[in-house]
């Protein structure tokens, strides 16, 4: 038997329709796959930022627990003291660890033997939370910035906000220090990529 021209036409049309449907199915699967990859990447980026901010808080918590709230040994620098523009969330406090701000905690007659000053601040240009050990003094500088901020250690990245607040406020003597870090997932829009973590630290030394 031989096929008519109309039958050949139907076969070509069927093949084109089938190929079109197949292409649409493949395109839909590809779009779903791409969306799943994007969502997975966003979740990974957010998890990385959350891990980064937790590690930064952990790094700060130990040294802040070991310091003192005495006014001449701990300073939170407001904008009027110079912590503005390039800087944000500036604080200086003493440590009783050795000149490199590490090693064992030094005691004298049962009390801390202050060895150095640690400065913490956020660099607005790089969104890095930085730390600097200054072994030349055990009294934080009165104004910001201190004489030297290098060399420094990076303890947090993608930090878009940092603050230190003594509690309680007012005339009462402070009994704790609230630390807040605000980080953002790289490339994410505000709010959607924001991670906030806050902790309240009670220094062990008077």
% of the chain with per-residue pLDDT over 70: 91
Does residue 2 surpass a pLDDT of 60? no
3-class SS letters over the chain: CCCCHHHHHHHHHHHHHHHHHHHHHHHHHHHHHHHHHHHHHHHHHHHHHHHHHHHHHHHHHHHHHCCECCCCCEEEECHHHCCCCCEEEEEEEEECCCCCCCCCCCEECCEECCCEEEEEEEECCCCEEEEEEECCCCCCCCCCCCCCCCCCEEEECCEEEEEEEEECCCCCCCCEEEEEEEEECCCCCCCCCEEEEEEEECCCEC
- Residue 81 has a pLDDT of 94
| pLDDT tens string 139-163 | 999 999 999 999 999 998 888 899 9
- pTM value is 0.79
- Residue 9 has a pLDDT of 55
The domain spans of the chain are: 47-201
Does residue 39 surpass a pLDDT of 90? no
């Amino acid at each position: 038997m031989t096929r008519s021209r109309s039958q050949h036409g139907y076969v070509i049309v069927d093949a084109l329709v089938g190929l079109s449907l197949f292409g649409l199915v493949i395109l839909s699967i590809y779009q779903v796959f791409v969306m799943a990859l994007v969502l997975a990447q966003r979740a990974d980026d957010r998890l990385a930022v959350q891990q980064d901010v937790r590690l930064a808080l952990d790094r700060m918590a130990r040294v802040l627990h070991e310091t003192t709230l005495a006014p001449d040994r701990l300073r939170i620098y407001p904008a009027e003291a110079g912590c503005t523009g390039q800087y944000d969330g500036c604080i200086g406090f003493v440590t009783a660890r050795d000149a490199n701000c590490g090693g064992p905690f030094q005691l004298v007659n049962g009390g801390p033997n202050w060895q150095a000053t640690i400065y913490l601040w956020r660099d607005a240009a790089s969104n890095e939370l930085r730390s600097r050990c200054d072994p030349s003094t055990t009294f934080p500088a009165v104004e910001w910035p201190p004489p030297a901020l290098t060399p420094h250690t990076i303890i947090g990245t993608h930090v878009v906000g940092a603050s230190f607040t003594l509690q309680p406020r007012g005339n009462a003597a402070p009994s704790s220090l609230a630390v807040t870090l605000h980080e953002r997932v790289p490339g994410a829009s505000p709010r959607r990529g924001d991670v906030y973590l806050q902790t309240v630290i009670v220094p062990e030394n008077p």
